Structure 1
């Protein structure tokens, strides 16, 4: 058993797969100053930075910070038929409530279940108490515009809003995937809840391999539709937003989450200082070689368009990883993709 594990780990290392410890030691700790963490761990702060930089984000309808403000929640939601409520310091999609409609005084979720105002108040109260926040600290509840996903995703996404994860290193996009909601993930685009991650070629914006719970798949588990060959719209614009987010947060190694609204186009959701590693399985190649290549560059382009061109050039030159990255991915992905 031990020899099999060691053999598999050796194969993963030869394939250039980056493990969690190496990620933390060589990239997160080295390139992400601790002083910058509050800029991304607090979604309200990240949103403010993005707005100041002229980046599109979902509109913020309001914020509830104290339990006493729950008495005003009905007024805050007045006239809102759809919205999203989430914790400002949440992680992994926990504590996110999506309301898609309002009927006869009830708030309807995407799965058709209806909630009363009292139930919404209870949900927000839990957010304020820190039930869903990093470290369990008291939190604030954000009420935002509900993104209407691009029609591109209708056949490969179950109810919710797909998002695109870009991994950025030293301002250069290095890997990408789209996370697709499933029935198992309850319509949420979170891998640890059962969503599908699909790799995207940086050079073309076209989807290829898929992964669900660390296992490689070719078709969406709910619809049976192929995951490969889908062209992500506004691809270069998305890459540009990712590169700009790295600049505005000052993080050398980060994950940027984006969505494509049917009417409003690309939007930035959040930035993560400790992005997970399942993106390697979705793309079927490891991060190590590409990260080391960028790390060795003494001069990197400052112009966003030049950075995107470099990212596309590096991606086009990449070779698929060996079978070591196929189902299982031992040691590759953390339990919670962040």
Structure 2
């Protein structure tokens, strides 16, 4: 269908929900006759004079093409199609949950050690796959991991990913919009795949404590300097009787200097994660119903009832009635 210059490959679809973020506009849709939920990310080309912006778009497309080649990875979102118009780029992804790990903690509190271990295992498998394809993500944070009702995790957010072979070093600094999970060497300049394992450790710390590593710095410049100068995180406040010796040891081995940080083999062998570490772990997970937000139930219902009897309110757009409903999307398609 056509909406002010944007041509989607669907003559008709159900628009389930939309979200506007700093890196693009997101729509959850159900294409006509496909009975499958899709996530559509729309990027405007207004900033085409900004080479960094264009580079990010191309990097995301190329990275997803490489990661999705063949069978891909069950814990990484799949990009299905790419379209563009003179004013927009359109990435079509497989359906993934709208509930991030950040929202999980903010809504329901910190995770138990058992749930944290289940989540962490999937994070490791996702990052191991990314690195095996000579890529580094560089933006590992709770918001870039989405949790489905059955407990399966999906890694998203590849806008800052880049090519990098295992063992090599990239000499360029990267200051992200959200720096709370950035490794010190990412801000200093010279960095490798180890930055993702620092981010992994920072996410685990957040899941079990609900805190950010550098929360004491309100000023962004001060926080950036503190992260850049950090050699290791002081975890002395974490009590062993609450968090367990294995988890504390894992965090100490991740939130440290690049040279001392654990690699993926040692992470998978670590006592906190080593039991039953197989790709099918997520199939054994059943997240309690209280962990489902309204948004999650919304999408879950669509997957259970993909035909006309969908028990949720949706907006239907077809070639015949688009004009009458277009006003609803004026703020989206400016």
TM-score normalized with structure 2 length: 0.32
TM-score normalized with structure 1 length: 0.32
Larger RCO (alpha carbons 8 Å, 6+ apart): 1
